[in-house]
């Protein structure tokens, strides 16, 4: 089932202010909500990525993670096609160059349900601490366009070449 363009408009409210986001055929808007809970260790690294867009009449959303869940038996990997979730319980293979974050980022499922490449156009690099202290962090979060394919649990494959999205490594 395709989501009509009019249904893609969202009204965001925060305190007394309201914003209309998306909603026209010329400018769809996509968003993601990142929620972290619990107690996190003082030393941690992770990968996170996602994207969304339309392929013809289908609406697709992507969600990937890695590193912080390894060995736990849990993942945050999956994708949605027209509201139907395909959960990927396997760890994904991430391939990218920390020292060259503007090079393509490849993310693939060893089980074959996902194979995508993000071509970055912007790197939001942040760093705190001096590298010699006990505390600090550094993140490369790149924004760009995903190309690739996903395969649902019922065997339907969807290919795309222009889904807007992001990927990051945080240390």
Q: In what order do the strands lie in the sheet with 137-151?
A: 84-88, 77-81, 58-66, 46-55, 157-170, 137-151, 114-128, 105-108, 93-95
Question: What pTM does this model have?
Answer: 0.82
Tell me the average confidence (pLDDT) per consecutive run of 10 residues in the chain, 171 residues long: 46 71 61 71 89 90 90 90 93 97 98 97 91 79 97 96 95 91
CB 13 within 8 A of CB 21: no
């Amino acid at each position: 089932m395709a989501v009509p363009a009019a249904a893609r408009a969202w009204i965001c409210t925060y305190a007394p202010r309201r914003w209309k986001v998306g909603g026209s055929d010329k400018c769809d808007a996509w968003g993601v909500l990142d929620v972290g809970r619990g107690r996190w260790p003082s030393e941690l690294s992770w990968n996170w990525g996602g994207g969304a867009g339309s392929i013809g009449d289908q609406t697709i959303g992507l969600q990937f993670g890695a590193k912080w869940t390894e060995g736990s038996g849990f993942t945050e990997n999956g994708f949605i096609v027209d509201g139907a979730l395909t959960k990927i319980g396997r760890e994904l293979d991430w391939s990218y160059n920390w020292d060259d974050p503007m090079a393509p980022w490849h993310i693939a499922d060893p089980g074959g349900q996902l194979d995508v490449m993000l071509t970055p156009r912007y790197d939001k690099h942040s760093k705190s601490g001096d590298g010699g202290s006990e505390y600090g962090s550094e993140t490369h979060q790149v924004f760009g366009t995903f190309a690739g394919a996903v395969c649902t649990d019922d065997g339907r494959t969807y290919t795309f070449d222009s889904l807007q999205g992001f990927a990051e490594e945080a240390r």
